[in-house]
Chain A
Amino acid sequence: MRKVASGRARRGAVIGFAALLTLSACGSSGGGSAATTTSAPKAGAVSGTLTGAMASGAIDTLDPNRWYFAVTWGLANAMCTTLIRYGDVSGTAGTKLVPGTANLPTISSNGLTYTYTLRPGARFSNGTPITPADIKYTWLRLMAPAIDTGTGYYFTNVIGAPAYLAGTSKTVAGITTTANSITFHLTAPDGAFLYKTALPTTCPVPVGTSMKPENNGTIEQTYASGPFKLQSYSPGRQLVLAFNKNYDQALGDRGHVAKIQFTIGVLSTQATLEIEANQLDFNTSNLATADILKISHDSALKSQVYTSARPDITYLFLNYEVPPLNNVDVRKAINFAINRTAIEAQWGGPLAGTPTDQIVPPALVDYKKYSIYPNTPNLTEAKKLMTESGVKTPVSLAIRTQSDAPGFVAMATVIQSDLKAIGINLSIEATPNSVNSSYISNYKSHTPMGIEPWSADFPDADAIINTGMYPGTPNFAANFSHFGVASFVPQFNQAAAALGATRVKDYEQLDYNLMSQQAPYAPLFNPRWYDFVSSRLGGYVYSEAMDAINYNTLYIKS
């Protein structure tokens, strides 16, 4: 569950139907030329400097085993080649895994052993070959308590990992190496394990790298493994990526510019002006709704706008430990009473996202459309459920949200008004995201409900459903609802272990069962992604897996 940087948020605005039609016509991969156009550079051709902008606070850390924000995962995709990685294409096709430093693994018939054989061209930017020992060390580093920022949790089913993660063991017995391969031995089958070995935090580091955080990018200046390396980083000011001459194009034809220079701290609206003036090539923050409208009405600029579905959901969590939210009828009543269309309008309206009553976003393969709760309130049903719940109204509760990103307090206000109609009086507690996120992650805070944006760590329902509400761990930091209904544990385990079509079907069913029987969330909407790029920028690809621009395909049009 990655941070959706505040720079990506946008203000609510009146959205014109014409603009909606115009942008919808751009399709999921956008209005400009795609990476596959005939003007793409020859394989291995590298020239010019691209300039980008990012919001202040977009970079959490440049430690390759710690980064977690969407913008840093975009950078990771440029500086790292993980064991296996995602294809460099837009849309759902870009969530398909391809070989990285290793070939696609061989998996034992019982699904408990994954063996990755390293490819010959895999090396760090200083020219040193990447060895299986380096890969094992990378895993030990990313799971080390002093380094782990949350993704170590995904490997708890590797033999010996729980003790290592807890700091009581010095190694992980379930990771073994040979001269050219690395094997992971699991305690239980895991249908998402392939995705987990492509996480940006598995970015290779050499044996002996400090077990202390190196947040300012010193590792990626020497030991980058992707088509780019970090040339320089001035926190809060500037970051420069330079083409990695030691990157073997046999690992994939990636990287077509000599440098990418990012200016940090640029407001999204100012960046849009700079792109239009051809003083900037792209922006890592999402476009403000007003800018989307303006650009979409300008036929000369329309070809520079790209829009994509995101693997994201914004939802209202309902805490099982706080009465009367421990009553299923109350949770369902809330789902019937809220006006999802009005809530989404605070975010930016139809251009900015789509209301939903499902947990899994449409951008993931495990998504299947169903409809249990309406987009506009059904107060008759909601009031009936409140009566059946036996809860004496009015009741008073708090709703928490972030105050420093546009739209969130306004959304809370709509929910406050909606729930008053069924006898639930809400007080809004808005704090900056830095405070809000640490508050709601603490299970002792007993937060009744809150609005949260969620970006999947990998393109599989596991990253949303299992991470956010596994009933076996109701006090896990990301289980904001404290969902702990034991009868659901087998369903979660079954879906997590399944593969292929069975997995898709299991998660579709689990999503439906959760919302129809338990309603631990009130899903609100799935946001969309917008990019506006300079007229000279070619090869635009939005990586759905990273929820960021793919820098490896960008080039300067001749």
Chain B
Amino acid sequence: MRRMILRRLIGCVIQLFVVTIAAWLLFYVIARFTGASPAQRIAGKTASAAQIALVAKLLGLNKPYWQQYLIFLGHLLHGNFGYSYFQDRPVSSILWPATRATASLVLGAAVIWIAIAAPIGGYGGFRPRSIGDVLGRGLAIFGMSIPVFWLAPMMSYFFAFQPTQGRIIGLPILAQGTTLFPITGYVDLGQNPIEWGYHLILPWITLAIGFAAIYIRYIRTLTAEQLGEDYTRTAKAKGASTRRILLRHVGRNIAPTMTVLLGADVATALSGVFFVETVFNIPGLGWTGVYAIENLDYPVITGVVIVCAIIAVFANTIVDLLHGVLDPRVRRMAAQ
């Protein structure tokens, strides 16, 4: 197990090193060939060549590429992502709150999607082709068909805006001026935990619906497969209760697969929640990245890419290690 952890951690460092080179090349070198010029952007459209050169010098963009990369890497090794061109403050002070906001959104949504998917998917696998299963599958197809960029404004419109007009989902059953949820906005957890949860309820549900739909199908299929295995039939023959079969036997066997899927999906969601963040005005990583792209703020863009990569790499590493803990076959393979 120790060897497995060590091997995984070394792989993790190599992956991150490759990502930093790729991110730096992409934004500091390749982007320049598209005509993007942060110095020109900062100096203004009517700036002279001398003014643009001066801004480039101030930003350190006049140095040879290899020098720029070494400076960038040196800073990075000290946990310093550099200084934002546009916000005039350390990139880390921008990224840390953004990471917290995105993590709040994604982890909360993950709890919701598992809470929805586990009973529905489990029931579908246990009672295939029953009414409940058909409804569950229908719900899954419906959930997967709704694009987030449409769902987010609709959730905001029907559950946050309409109540203020005395309606909900078009039904005039509320008092005029009712506020069920805020239309937009975000409050940091450290600032006010209750307001934090209140502002995130709609974004959580919005993000969770699509993933819940996918997980209903995963869990249904895995449960049905496990119920067909010899060990469950044996357990049944020995008189084990349904609850015991599902939780102790089936649940334990599908847990490793679900953990791997969950790790990968949480990592994907962390860097792909831009639409939800935009509609609900949550200053997360996607939101911050797009804001930086609008201003050619390379240190922030690169920082966002690297943070997303770190999250993805660590999430997968943790999942792999957990997989090893949950599944003895993985541990055995690693030992060999």
Residues of A within 8 A of B (CB): 1, 6, 56-57, 60-61, 68, 145-146, 148-151, 153, 165-167, 213-216, 235-237, 263, 265-267, 269-271, 273-274, 276-279, 404, 431-439, 441-442, 445, 467, 476-478
Residue B24 at the chain A interface, CB threshold 8 Å: no
- A270, B37: Cβ atoms under 8 Å? no
Answer whether A277 and B296 are a contact pair too, CB < 8 Å, given A56-B287, A235-B87. no
**Proximity bits, B33-59, A CB within 8 Å = 1, else 0:** 011111011111111101100110010
Answer whether A265 and B287 are a contact pair too, CB < 8 Å, given A276-B161, A445-B35. yes
- B34, A216: Cβ atoms under 8 Å? no
- A438, B35: Cβ atoms under 8 Å? yes
Answer whether A167 and B50 are a contact pair too, CB < 8 Å, given A216-B89, A279-B183, A434-B295. yes
Query: Considering residues B31, B34, B41, B184, which has the most beta carbons from chain A within 10 angstroms of its beta carbon?
Result: B184
Complex CA distance for A279 and B180, rounded to whole angstroms: 13
Given contacts A150-B44, A277-B164, 8 further A-B contacts (CB under 8 A): A146-B58, A263-B184, A404-B294, A431-B34, A434-B296, A435-B34, A476-B46, A478-B45
Q: Which residue from A56, A61, A235 sits with its C-beta under 8 Å from B294?
A: A56
What are 8 pairs between A and B in contact, CB < 8 Å? Answer: A56-B287, A56-B290, A146-B54, A146-B55, A215-B87, A276-B161, A433-B294, A445-B35
Using a Cβ cutoff of 8 Å, how many contacts connect chains A and B?
A: 151
A167's nearest neighbour on chain B, judged by CB, is: B50
Q: Which residues does chain B contribute within 8 Å of A273, judged by CB atoms?
A: 156-157, 160-161, 183
- B46, A478: Cβ atoms under 8 Å? yes
Answer whether A57 and B291 are a contact pair too, CB < 8 Å, given A148-B44, A235-B89. yes
Q: Which residues does chain A contribute within 8 Å of B283, judged by CB atoms?
A: 236-237, 265
**Proximity bits, B82-104, A CB within 8 Å = 1, else 0:** 00001111000010000000000
Q: Which residues does chain A contribute within 8 Å of B185, judged by CB atoms?
A: 263
- A149, B161: Cβ atoms under 8 Å? no
Complex CA distance for A148 and B34, rounded to whole angstroms: 25
- A434, B184: Cβ atoms under 8 Å? no
What range describes how many residues of B lie at the interface? 35 or more
**Proximity bits, B137-174, A CB within 8 Å = 1, else 0:** 00000000000000001001100110011000000000
B93's nearest neighbour on chain A, judged by CB, is: A235
Complex CA distance for A85 and B156, rounded to whole angstroms: 42
- A432, B161: Cβ atoms under 8 Å? no
A439's nearest neighbour on chain B, judged by CB, is: B35
Complex CA distance for A445 and B54, rounded to whole angstroms: 20
B41's nearest neighbour on chain A, judged by CB, is: A438
- A236, B87: Cβ atoms under 8 Å? yes
The 7 closest A-B pairs by CB, nearest first: A439-B35, A150-B44, A150-B46, A277-B164, A149-B44, A438-B40, A438-B37
Residue B235 at the chain A interface, CB threshold 8 Å: no
Query: Considering residues A151, A273, A433, which has the most beta carbons from chain B within 10 angstroms of its beta carbon?
Result: A273
- B35, A267: Cβ atoms under 8 Å? no
- Looking at chain A's contact residues, the main secondary structure is loop
B296's nearest neighbour on chain A, judged by CB, is: A434
Complex CA distance for A173 and B40, rounded to whole angstroms: 29
Shortest B179–chain A CB gap in Å is: 8
Complex CA distance for A109 and B55, rounded to whole angstroms: 40
Complex CA distance for A426 and B283, rounded to whole angstroms: 39
Query: Considering residues B45, B290, B293, which has the most beta carbons from chain A within 10 angstroms of its beta carbon?
Result: B45
- B281, A441: Cβ atoms under 8 Å? no
Q: Which residues does chain A contribute within 8 Å of B36, judged by CB atoms?
A: 431, 434-435, 438-439
Complex CA distance for A213 and B55, rounded to whole angstroms: 11
Shortest A157–chain B CB gap in Å is: 15
- B43, A267: Cβ atoms under 8 Å? no
Answer whether A270 and B54 are a contact pair too, CB < 8 Å, given A57-B291, A150-B47. no
B156's nearest neighbour on chain A, judged by CB, is: A270
- A435, B47: Cβ atoms under 8 Å? no
Answer whether A437 and B157 are a contact pair too, CB < 8 Å, given A145-B50, A476-B46. no
Q: Which residues does chain B contribute within 8 Å of A237, judged by CB atoms?
A: 283
- A145, B291: Cβ atoms under 8 Å? no
- A442, B35: Cβ atoms under 8 Å? yes
Complex CA distance for A130 and B190, rounded to whole angstroms: 42
Shortest A516–chain B CB gap in Å is: 27
- B44, A278: Cβ atoms under 8 Å? no
Residue B200 at the chain A interface, CB threshold 8 Å: no
**Proximity bits, B182-210, A CB within 8 Å = 1, else 0:** 11110000000000000000000000000
Q: Which residues does chain A contribute within 8 Å of B161, judged by CB atoms?
A: 273-274, 276-277
- A153, B46: Cβ atoms under 8 Å? yes
- B294, A1: Cβ atoms under 8 Å? no
**Proximity bits, B288-320, A CB within 8 Å = 1, else 0:** 101101111000000000000000000000000
Answer whether A265 and B58 are a contact pair too, CB < 8 Å, given A434-B41, A437-B41. no
- A278, B45: Cβ atoms under 8 Å? no
Complex CA distance for A153 and B48, rounded to whole angstroms: 9
Q: Which residues does chain A contribute within 8 Å of B47, judged by CB atoms?
A: 148-150, 477
Q: Which residue from B38, B179, B279, B281 sits with its C-beta under 8 Å from A263?
A: B281
Complex CA distance for A266 and B277, rounded to whole angstroms: 10
Residue B268 at the chain A interface, CB threshold 8 Å: no
Query: Considering residues B36, B50, B55, which has the most beta carbons from chain A within 10 angstroms of its beta carbon?
Result: B36
B97's nearest neighbour on chain A, judged by CB, is: A237
Residue B221 at the chain A interface, CB threshold 8 Å: no
Q: Which residues does chain B contribute within 8 Å of A151, judged by CB atoms?
A: 46
Q: Which residues does chain A contribute within 8 Å of B51, judged by CB atoms?
A: 145, 148
Complex CA distance for A265 and B291, rounded to whole angstroms: 9
Complex CA distance for A437 and B294, rounded to whole angstroms: 11
- B279, A270: Cβ atoms under 8 Å? yes
A273's nearest neighbour on chain B, judged by CB, is: B161
Shortest A252–chain B CB gap in Å is: 29
- B281, A266: Cβ atoms under 8 Å? yes
A443's nearest neighbour on chain B, judged by CB, is: B49
Q: Which residues does chain B contribute within 8 Å of A442, judged by CB atoms?
A: 35, 37, 40
Complex CA distance for A324 and B318, rounded to whole angstroms: 61
Q: Which residues does chain B contribute within 8 Å of A214, judged by CB atoms?
A: 88
- A215, B86: Cβ atoms under 8 Å? yes
Complex CA distance for A213 and B86, rounded to whole angstroms: 10
Q: Which residues does chain B contribute within 8 Å of A213, judged by CB atoms?
A: 88
- A270, B153: Cβ atoms under 8 Å? yes
Q: Which residues does chain A contribute within 8 Å of B34, judged by CB atoms?
A: 431, 435, 439
Q: Which residues does chain A contribute within 8 Å of B257, judged by CB atoms?
A: none
Shortest A490–chain B CB gap in Å is: 23
Q: Which residues does chain B contribute within 8 Å of A263, judged by CB atoms?
A: 184-185, 281
Q: Which residues does chain A contribute within 8 Å of B232, judged by CB atoms?
A: none
Complex CA distance for A517 and B96, rounded to whole angstroms: 58
Complex CA distance for A6 and B37, rounded to whole angstroms: 19
Answer whether A68 and B35 are a contact pair too, CB < 8 Å, given A270-B153, A277-B161. no
Complex CA distance for A404 and B48, rounded to whole angstroms: 26
Complex CA distance for A270 and B280, rounded to whole angstroms: 8
Q: Which residues does chain B contribute within 8 Å of A153, judged by CB atoms?
A: 46, 48
- B183, A432: Cβ atoms under 8 Å? no
Shortest A317–chain B CB gap in Å is: 13
- B50, A166: Cβ atoms under 8 Å? yes
Answer whether A149 and B43 are a contact pair too, CB < 8 Å, given A57-B295, A215-B88, A279-B183. yes
